[in-house]
């Protein structure tokens, strides 16, 4: 299949115990603002078995993601909500999709 999702980024976070809901709210709010104002295509936020929060964000292309990164935070309050909740984070993993075989959940 042809690449039709553009560009993806994986983010990984260790969230402080008791701050999970605040982190989820901040992530959701930030994703919505980025989608509305910066061409982001949305994200999925997961909790892995080892306690790390892992997010998968989609963009139309790498240039859209880079422009958003260079523009600073899209929502200062949402960024602070997440920053207050994050104990540790890892560098983002940048992905250039080559095959897309995911189906939409029903």
pLDDT class of 3 with cuts at 50, 70, 90: low
Give the tens place of pLDDT for each residue, 55-91. 999 999 999 999 999 999 999 999 999 999 999 999 9
Q: Order of strands, edge to edge, in the sheet holding 86-95?
A: 43-47, 52-59, 7-15, 86-95
Overall fold of domain 7-95: Alpha-Beta Plaits (3.30.70)
Higher pLDDT pick, 89 / 106: 89
Give the tens place of pLDDT for each residue, 7-62. 999 999 999 999 999 999 999 999 999 999 999 999 999 999 999 999 999 999 99
User: What are the extents of the domains in the chain?
Assistant: 7-95
Give the integer Cα–Cα distance in Å for 63 and 23. 27
Range 88-105 average pLDDT:
90
Give the integer Cα–Cα distance in Å for 66 and 89. 19
């Amino acid at each position: 299949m042809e690449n039709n999702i553009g560009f993806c980024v994986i983010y990984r976070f260790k969230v402080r115990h008791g701050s999970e809901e605040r982190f989820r709210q901040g992530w959701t709010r930030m994703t919505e603002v980025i989608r509305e104002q910066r061409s982001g295509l949305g994200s999925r936020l997961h909790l892995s078995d080892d306690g790390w929060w892992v997010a998968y964000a989609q963009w139309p292309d790498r240039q859209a993601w880079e422009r958003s990164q260079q523009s600073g935070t899209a929502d200062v309050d949402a960024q602070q909500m997440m920053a207050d909740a994050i104990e540790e984070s890892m560098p983002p993993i940048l992905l250039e999709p080559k095959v897309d075989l995911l189906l939409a959940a029903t």
